[in-house]
Amino acid sequence: MTTSSVAAAGVSGRSHHSKRGALRAFVVKELHHILRDRQTLTILLLMPLVQVVLFGFALRSDVRDIRLAVVDPSPNHESIALRDRFNGTGRFRIVTTAPTVAAVEPLFRRGQADVALVFPPDFAEQRADSTPSQLMMLVDASDPNTGTTMQAYTRAVITAYENDQEPSRAIRIVPDVRMRFNPTLESVNLFVPGLIALVLTLVSALMTAISLSRENERGTLEILLVSPLKPAQIIVGKVLPYLGLAFANVITALLAAWLVFDVPFRGSLPLLLAESTIYSLVSLALGVLVASKTPSQRAAMLVALMATMLPNVLLSGMVFPISSMPAWLVPITYIVPARWFIVVARGIMLKGVGLEYLWRETLVLIGMTVFLLAAAVRSFKPRIG
Amino acid sequence: MSGTSQNRAIDARNLTRRFGSFVAVDHITFDVGAGEVFGFLGANGAGKTTAIKMLIGLLAPSEGKATVAGFDVATQTEQIRRSIGYMSQRFSLYEDLTVRENIQLYGGIYGLTDEQISSRTAALLASLDMQSMADDLVARLPLGWKQKLAFSVALIHEPKIVFLDEPTGGVDPITRRQFWELIYSAAANGTTVFVTTHYMDEAEYCDRISIMVDGRIAAMGTPRELKERFNAPTVDEVFVRLARPGAGQRGAA
């Protein structure tokens, strides 16, 4: 190539091929970075497992051994049969049997009883007449999750007892549930959707921010910007490998939730994976933005944590229900991507619904992805005007 | 292709860059011929890095014009990027990749085919006598080797011009010497070398040098011309006279 026109022709002639080659070379490099940093990789791969197991046991540890206090003013064979049912489940342990509610109250306060079952004094007569009985159930709901679960178990035992009666002797036991210590109970039920959001955010936003600001700090980013690589290629090259990692994490979290805790999965797995991809892209774009606005790796890490983890945990509905937030805070949750993803993931996993119900949240997530990716590419314009 | 700049690798006319009211580069005019080794000297803050950034397309000029490899820095940055190599003062290879992987990466980024990459990798390793280290992580190499490797990698796509921004910082004298041999052999192959340096003995190796003071080019010529003009024994002495605060017509700060 002796003259520049020949060189230019050569360049444009193979530009199609070279663009793909350039991106491939870049992705290979990123994979090397990720795979060679064994420590980080191990942490990233195990994180969903550890999170699911930790959260799972933390939320469910007390539910296996429910301490039941029975208030039975006039014991009879019917009430004793029902008590035996509770004993027989293996989940309940009767810690005391008392004639009055007042007698079990101190046990609650000292935390020695979780649930109290109060029989009416005329339980035997009501059964004999086949009139509905009012059974009262007191539940320690200082931990709302456990409270809900214990209440559900207690109801289930009573219902099962009821169903086993001969139809002619069918009676209705109407449990009168009162939540103790936390009367405005909100169901924060399953944590796995929120956890998936958390893990995806961590891997996607935090790791991209760190990896990109590392390049900036070490000076290699400058070399990349001087190269023929386009900003969009750099971003895609950074994002693709982490997308793979995010996928692995979703699968791990789902498997752990299912194997260890029997968390149901009622909807479509491909749909959830597709939604997870969109959500990861949002987080990855956020990570790129954070990296381009912060001066160092350390700062990028802190900002990424603050900008993604905190809203993800506090404002997404993962832990604190949005319905119980003050009115002024609710609009702020609209800009938290995790809020939308959690609705989607809960819908798919727990309700088994599809896009026909979740299209609005999905559109919001896609909109956020487009907006943030465009902003990320713009923030990477190598030329400062 | 503009015919006038055909033989000039770099052609800058009144190139200027302002940051607010501060003029970092103040109407500099110079040209660099094809195959020339051009030393771009100046104290820290004199505007060298800003000038380089305009030439390699990282910064838009505020005023003036420049062409690099015949392409306009204001409008044809994409073509410029394909025609130049760049090595910054900070180490530009990836420490957690092997020597070979680094070469393959930059070959790929610059759009070489797989065959080109493998043949040039072999040639590069042979010329640096690094075949035995090809699969070592770059982190394990001594600094001198790293710098030589970084230079060769910057040339992997056979650019017309290579920009070296203080390439020998922190390198021992013997390695610096070897590094300059690499620069000469690149120049002998027709590559234009645009190099900034702090070491004035290195300035003596250049075909031509320019000395920047406060955003302007205070002197330009071959090392011998400058020494004669300033009646100084070394380029170092020329530099000190020009760059000393209060030198020239600018008055004491």
Cβ distance A26 to B108 less than 8 Å, yes or no, reads: yes
Higher pLDDT, A150 or A56: A150
- Asked if pLDDT for residue A201 goes beyond 60, the answer is yes
With bands split at pLDDT 50, 70 and 90, how would you rate the model's confidence at A166?
Answer: low
pLDDT of residue A104: 84
**pLDDT tens per residue, range B77-132:** 889 999 999 998 777 899 999 999 999 999 999 999 999 999 999 999 999 999 99
Residue A28 resides in a domain: yes
Last residue of a domain, which of A180, A211, A243? A180
How many CB atoms neighbour CB B180 within 10 A?
Answer: 18
pLDDT of residue A182: 39
Same domain, A212 and A82: no
**pLDDT tens per residue, range A358-373:** 999 999 999 999 999 8
**pLDDT tens per residue, range A14-68:** 444 455 688 899 999 999 999 998 888 888 888 888 887 777 666 554 467 888 8
- Enumerate residues 6+ apart whose C-beta is below 8 A from A98: A69, A70, A71, A72, A104
pLDDT of residue B61: 94
Of B59, B82, B97, the CB nearest to A384: B59
Domain count, chain A: 2
This prediction's pTM: 0.73
Question: In the Cβ-directed half-sphere of A279, how many Cα atoms lie within 13 Å?
Answer: 33
Across A138-142, A179-183, A311-315, B209-213, the highest mean pLDDT is recorded for B209-213
pLDDT of residue A3: 40
What CA–CA distance (Å, rounded) separates A103 from A99?
A: 7
DSSP 8-state symbol, A195: H
Buried b (16+ CB within 10 A) or exposed e, A217-231: ebebbbbbbbbbbbb
Q: Give me chain A's average pLDDT, please.
A: 80
Give me the amino acid identity at B249: Q
Same domain, A334 and A352: yes
B96 touching A (Cβ < 8 Å): yes
pLDDT of residue A184: 34
Residue A9 resides in a domain: no
Residue A101 resides in a domain: yes
Cα→Cα distances B166→A126, A230, A296, Å = 96, 26, 23
Structural domain of residue A164, as residue ranges?
A: 65-180
Q: What backbone phi and psi angles, to 5 degrees, belong to B215? A: 85, -5
Same domain, A292 and A342: yes
Residue A385 resides in a domain: no
- Domain B3-250 belongs in CATH node 1.10.20.10: no
Domain-wise residue ranges, chain B: 3-250
Same domain, A204 and A149: no
ipTM of the complex model: 0.86
* First CA to last CA distance, chain B: 45
What CA–CA distance (Å, rounded) separates A56 from A323?
A: 24
What CA–CA distance (Å, rounded) separates A193 from A250?
A: 10
Report the CATH number that the domain containing residue A110 is assigned in CATH: 3.40.1710.10
**Residues of chain A contacting B92 with CB distance shorter than 8 Å:** 219-220, 222-223
pLDDT of residue B243: 76
Last residue of a domain, which of A127, A150, A180? A180
Last residue of a domain, which of A180, A199, A217? A180
Residue A14 resides in a domain: no
What CA–CA distance (Å, rounded) separates A27 from A80?
A: 69
Residue A194 resides in a domain: yes
Q: Best residue in B97, B109, B147 to probe A by mutation, most A CBs within 10 Å?
A: B109
User: Could you tell me if B150 and B91 are in contact, meaning their C-beta atoms sit under 8 angstroms apart?
Assistant: yes
Tell me how close the Cα of B237 comes to any Cα of chain A, in angstroms. 32
Rounded mean pLDDT, A207-213: 89
**pLDDT tens per residue, range A221-237:** 888 988 998 888 888 89
Rounded mean pLDDT, A252-270: 83
Would you give the distance in Å from CA B8 to the centre of its chain?
A: 16
Cβ distance A225 to B107 less than 8 Å, yes or no, reads: no
